[in-house]
Chain A
Amino acid sequence: MTIRLSIAAALLAGAAPAIAATHSIVPGDGAQEALQEALILAEPGDEIVLAAGRYTLTDGLSLDVDDVTVRGAGMDGTVLDFTTQQGAGEGLLVTSDGVTLRDFALENPKGDGVKSKGADNIVYHRIRVTWTRGPHPENGAYGVYPVESDGVLVDGVKVTGASDAGIYVGQSHNITVRNSIAEANVAGIEIENSRNALVEHNVATRNTGGILVFDLPNLPVMGGGNVIVANNLVIANDTPNFAPPGNIVAGVRRGTGIMVMANDKVLIEDNILSRNPTAPIMVIAYTQEFEDERYNPLPRDVVVGENRYDGGGYDPQLEGADMLLAAFGGELPPVLWDGLGSLSAVEGTAGWNLNLTEAGKGLGAAQPGPLAVGTPGQPFDRSGIGAPAALEQRLGG
């Protein structure tokens, strides 16, 4: 039976190079060197298989060979333990294209968990990154961290304890983040300065903010937009912000569900939002002053579709919260907009508006009132949004 199956698998994989090799790594003495050596000497098409067990690693790992798969024995079976890491800025750094990372975990990396930079068409599948002490400002910044890449599929990952964002996709194009769990991070899932991103079927809970879609100035890649945030469970994001000050997410208010800052064309629909005490949905302009002629600080063409709200901002972390709560009858409506840029919402969407007239000048000029915006015009253009379909084929097994 086994034999027949592997023959079938071999036939199916006919497109792969016939010479693809498997490098098997086991935990224990010398595992650090054996694993890093395999990551360096692998040829395109090879698979590096990490046997179950706990690997004690004192240095960051890196992969710079295209089309390599790194496969463990499950996100609870194969654990790369970086608790005693002495060097490098992340647990695993990937700088090559076509890489698949699957079925293993990283614990307590000193910096980021897995960073892939300029690594096109990467798949993260059933990867777990955990800072085991829970929320702490000295935890690493990002758990899963693809940046400057075209083609990113994050599926079935789990990140806990990141002091910035659990799953962070930055300065990238053609992205899907789905079926993943982001728990007890500052930001659960963050899409930053990126285009054509689909964020769906995720659970974001116990973060400070659940799902953030940001566009920031002064970065090599700007002009974030074409983002769909749909069918996510965004619940109880009520962890006090533990980000080190200075980082943009340090300004995220405890209790934010889904937040859009700047960006062009974002659709938020079919999400379930419950127990996000500041704002289940927040749409605002970039809040700081900036000098960058290329940058547009406003949220443009943001669409709030049908979502399920279990209440709104019942304990907002906002200046003048008591007065606001009193003015809105004890609880803020679910959608908060600062009044800058352009927003539409399906009929019946309850919200409130700060009615700001200028970006980057703080909330001093706010004149809060009920949200009154138009309904969405033509259907949201979904073309080209999400990771390339070819990446899905690597998810089998």
Chain B
Amino acid sequence: MKSFGWLACAVAALSGAMIARAAPPQQAAVNDAAIMGDGMPRLLSDYGFFDDAGAQLPVAGVHPYRLNTPLYSDGAEKLRFVYRAAGTQFGAQGEGLLDLPVGTALIKTFAFGEGSERRLIETRVLLHRADGWLALPYLWNEAQTDAQLAVVGARIALTTPAGQAISYRVPNKNQCKECHGLSGEVVPIGPKARNLSHAWLSRMVADGHLDTMPQDADQLPLWEARESAPLTAAARAYLEVNCAHCHQPGATASNSGLDLRWEQQAPEALGIGKRPVAAGRGAGGHLFDIVPGSPDASILTYRMASPEPGVAMPELGKATVDEEGLTIVRRWIEEMAP
């Protein structure tokens, strides 16, 4: 037994040496020990997710993906990747979150500006370790060569695509959990089958990364094609993606009793005719979360339309009003039969 262990070490050392000597650097592998270990790696490059980090070109095994309807983040361009560890496979779980086994990493980079003007601001990683998911924020350097762990987050002055000068908030480690916390655990939010395209999922199945095609995938409309989608689907997709990570049972805003998940069908839970609980001045003088036919009298849209801390919703992850999202939700409430 002991000698086998010794042998394995020797092989590892040998192969490591061979890679270092023979392999060109762009074929470097992801550092599983950084994902799975106990520590908090100081640099994004410690993980080896990228061939060319500044250009966001991933190494083999790190797969880019997009969500049909994404979370609004002050108009940031978001580059999403998922890393599958060797010897593991993602699993389909109906329309919900993909089963992403221990060893998986989700990587999301936030950028502002286009073309050569693009600047990477931060990269958030979610690491699936043996004791659960860990969320860590990394802040890009001036030279755009690497990003450094920033457990306390940061504030950065920048201009949004809409031309607004804002103090952009990079969340701290705890704030990561405010959105990613569910019943005491940290969980991924984005990669739910219903918000992923058939095309991407089938490619993942074909390449052996995902065990089988999930049922009821690809339900949420493509955000940029929302005008041609049913209004209810567009609005409910928006609320699911932007609000439901907190507004659901077991999550950060559970005590509000508001449940904005895609699958929720009860009108009261969705806020229709529901009185506020702890909204304070966030109620804006209105009596109900949603008044059918009257977006101007609904707390939901009042809070979406406010940039002011203490009133604005979501509380974290944005400093500006999402006018596109607000328009869709307003129209949905407007067309709701009173």
Contact = CB atoms under 8 A, between A and B. Distances in A.
A17 to B, nearest CB: 18
A144 to B, nearest CB: 13
A344 to B, nearest CB: 30
A363 B286 CA distance: 22
Interface in A133-179: 137-142, 145, 147-148, 163-164, 168, 170-171
B281 A137 contact: yes
B281 A163 contact: yes
A118 B280 CA distance: 20
B285 A37 contact: no
A216 B277 contact: yes
Contact of A246 (B152, B153, B276): B276
- Summarize A's interface: helix, strand, loop or mixed: loop
A357 interface: no
B277 A110 contact: no
- Summarize B's interface: helix, strand, loop or mixed: loop
Interface residues of A, number: 51
B280 A142 contact: yes
A218 B284 contact: no
A114 interface: no
A20 B334 CA distance: 57
Contact of B281 (A33, A139, A170, A288): A139
B167 A86 contact: yes
A379 interface: no
A155 B174 CA distance: 27
B316 interface: yes
Contacts of A110: 308-310
A62 B283 contact: no
Interface in B243-294: 249, 252, 254-255, 257, 268, 274-288
A141 B174 contact: no
A89 B309 contact: yes
B78 interface: no
A218 B257 contact: yes
Given A64-B177, A95-B181, A219 B309 contact: no
Given A219-B255, A291-B268, A164 B274 contact: no
Contacts of B167: 86
A355 interface: no
A92 B276 CA distance: 22
Contacts of B175: 62, 88
A40 interface: yes
Contacts of B282: 111, 141, 244
Interface string A206-236: 0000000000101111000000000000000
Contacts of B277: 170, 216, 219, 248
A263 B167 CA distance: 45
A317 interface: no
Contacts of B177: 64, 95
12 contacts: A86-B155, A87-B169, A111-B315, A117-B255, A138-B281, A147-B255, A163-B280, A164-B280, A218-B268, A246-B275, A246-B283, A246-B299
